[in-house]
């Protein structure tokens, strides 16, 4: 009798092997084995750890001001995308100005992001949602680094600043964050929401009527001239300076921005929001955003909106930037949690409601 005779695998053994493989795949996807996987809940937990939990408010950019207006497309953007938003016409928008941080009662005198979020509706029933910052780059390129950043920059209870023993090794391991800090230290910090340029941060895929696909970043460039806050005296700025300024400005008239679509050149980095595109680029002026009214978020139309930047119309799609999927999951998790907590009016907007009612 041969000693190397093979014993056939029975059907039950085969079924058992398949079950084990499926269980292993599930465990990997859940992050129980192998490489750690981070979900939207992990991001929200990190934001809560950094800035504290404020029930009913967004976990990031908690302090906001709603606005409404229109986007007047001039038709030029149709050269890059079949999205209805680029066809000549006027489309209603609802949006939100905000500043970075998870505390809705925080002061405006901080050298941090100023942001604009938009929801643009078109007659074909589609939506284009955007979440933009006033900086052309983002401090991190992936969700794991974002979570680590929130933990490293948690303010010390005594000093109000991050613990150097935690921050220094983090910066050593994340030179892109140090580069962003250096940029923020030198860049002008806008003294109004109305005079800042707002950038898409991530690249997106645009498809035209011929099926040609291109990677694009966009920016809303203000009609108002950029002027900056005095960074040396930010701690003396009134708590709600930016919000009061925008309310007063809008009471006098509308604010406008030009939408510029910037097409990637060969060799541009499209999967890292930490890297700016430099040098000449094909740029198309696609139309004008006009903001005509503002209102405190606690009672405004933007309060219950999720400005998930991956909700896109036909003709605009995602790029290879991993931050996009992470942003979508985090926005969804934040929205679900604050909706369950209740998001009624609070002291954070009481003074602003009085002013806009005048």
Q: What is the CATH number of the domain that holds 216?
A: 2.40.180.10
pTM given for the model:
0.84
Indicate whether 289 belongs to any domain. yes
For residue 61, indicate whether it is catalytic: yes
Residue with tokens 């309310």: 247
Q: What is the mean pLDDT of each run of 10 residues along the chain (358 residues)?
A: 42 45 37 44 74 74 94 98 98 96 89 96 96 96 88 85 91 95 96 98 97 98 98 95 98 98 97 96 98 92 91 96 82 68 52 49
Instruction: Give Cα 259 to chain centroid, integer Å.
Output: 17
Give dist(CA 202, CA 8) in Å, integer. Answer: 54
pLDDT of residue 53: 76
Q: Which domain holds residue 227?
A: 36-341
Residue pair 330/40 in contact (Cβ under 8 Å)? The answer is yes
Indicate whether 11 belongs to any domain. no
The residues near 334 (Cβ < 8 Å, ≥ 6 apart) are 40, 44, 47, 58, 59, 60, 306
The residues near 50 (Cβ < 8 Å, ≥ 6 apart) are 102, 150, 151, 153, 154, 155
Q: Pick from 313, 302, 303: which is nearest to 73 by CA?
A: 313
Give dist(CA 60, CA 149) in Å, integer. Answer: 13
Residue with tokens 């809705």: 104
**Six-digit token string for 169:** 């090794």
pLDDT of residue 21: 39
**Six-digit token string for 313:** 């119309």
The partner residues of 63 in beta bridges, in order of sequence, read: 99
Give dist(CA 339, CA 49) in Å, integer. Answer: 20
In the chain, the number of structural domains is 1
Give dist(CA 315, CA 82) in Å, integer. Answer: 5
Q: Identify the three-state secondary structure at position 183.
A: helix
Give dist(CA 320, CA 318) in Å, integer. Answer: 7
**Six-digit token string for 150:** 């929130």
Indicate whether 25 belongs to any domain. no
Indicate whether 347 belongs to any domain. no
Indicate whether 261 belongs to any domain. yes
The residues near 119 (Cβ < 8 Å, ≥ 6 apart) are 93, 94, 95, 127, 128, 129, 130, 302, 305, 307
**Largest distance between two CA atoms of the chain:** 101
Give, as one character, the DSSP assignment of residue 48: H
Indicate whether 285 belongs to any domain. yes
Which member of 61, 114, 134, 174 is catalytic? 61
Indicate whether 352 belongs to any domain. no
Indicate whether 233 belongs to any domain. yes
**Six-digit token string for 343:** 């998001």
The partner residues of 146 in beta bridges, in order of sequence, read: none
Give dist(CA 314, CA 83) in Å, integer. Answer: 6
pLDDT of residue 36: 43
């Amino acid at each position: 009798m041969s000693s190397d005779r093979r014993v056939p695998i029975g059907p039950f053994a085969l079924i058992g092997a398949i079950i084990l493989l499926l269980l292993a795949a599930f465990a990997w996807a859940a992050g129980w084995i192998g490489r750690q996987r981070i979900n939207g809940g992990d991001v929200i937990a990190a934001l809560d750890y950094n800035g504290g939990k404020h029930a009913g408010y967004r976990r990031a950019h908690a302090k906001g001001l709603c606005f409404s207006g229109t986007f007047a497309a001039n038709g030029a953007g149709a050269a890059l995308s079949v999205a209805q938003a680029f066809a000549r016409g006027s489309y209603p928008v609802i949006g939100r100005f905000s500043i970075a941080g998870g505390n809705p009662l925080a002061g405006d005198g901080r050298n941090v992001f100023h942001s604009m979020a938009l929801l643009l509706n078109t007659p074909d029933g589609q939506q284009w949602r955007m979440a933009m910052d006033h900086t052309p780059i983002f401090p991190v390129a992936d969700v794991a680094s974002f979570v680590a950043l929130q933990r490293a920059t948690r303010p010390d209870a005594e000093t109000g600043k991050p613990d150097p023993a935690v921050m220094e090794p983090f910066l050593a391991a994340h030179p892109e964050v140090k580069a962003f800090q250096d940029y923020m230290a030198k860049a002008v910090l806008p003294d109004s929401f109305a005079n800042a340029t707002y950038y898409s941060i991530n690249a997106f895929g645009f498809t035209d009527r011929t099926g040609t696909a291109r990677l694009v970043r966009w920016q809303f460039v203000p009609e108002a001239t950029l002027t900056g806050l005095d960074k040396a005296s930010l701690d003396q700025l009134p708590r709600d300076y930016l919000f009061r300024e925008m309310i007063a400005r809008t009471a006098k008239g509308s604010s406008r921005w030009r939408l510029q679509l910037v097409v990637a050149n060969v060799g541009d980095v499209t999967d890292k929001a930490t890297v700016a595109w430099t040098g000449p680029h094909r740029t198309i002026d696609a139309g004008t955003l006009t903001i005509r009214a503002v209102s405190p978020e606690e009672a405004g139309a933007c309060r219950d909106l999720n400005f998930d930047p991956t909700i896109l119309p036909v003709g605009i799609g995602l790029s290879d930037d991993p931050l996009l999927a992470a942003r979508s999951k985090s926005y969804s998790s934040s929205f679900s949690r604050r909706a369950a907590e209740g998001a009624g009016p609070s002291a954070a907007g009481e003074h602003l409601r009085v002013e806009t009612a005048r």
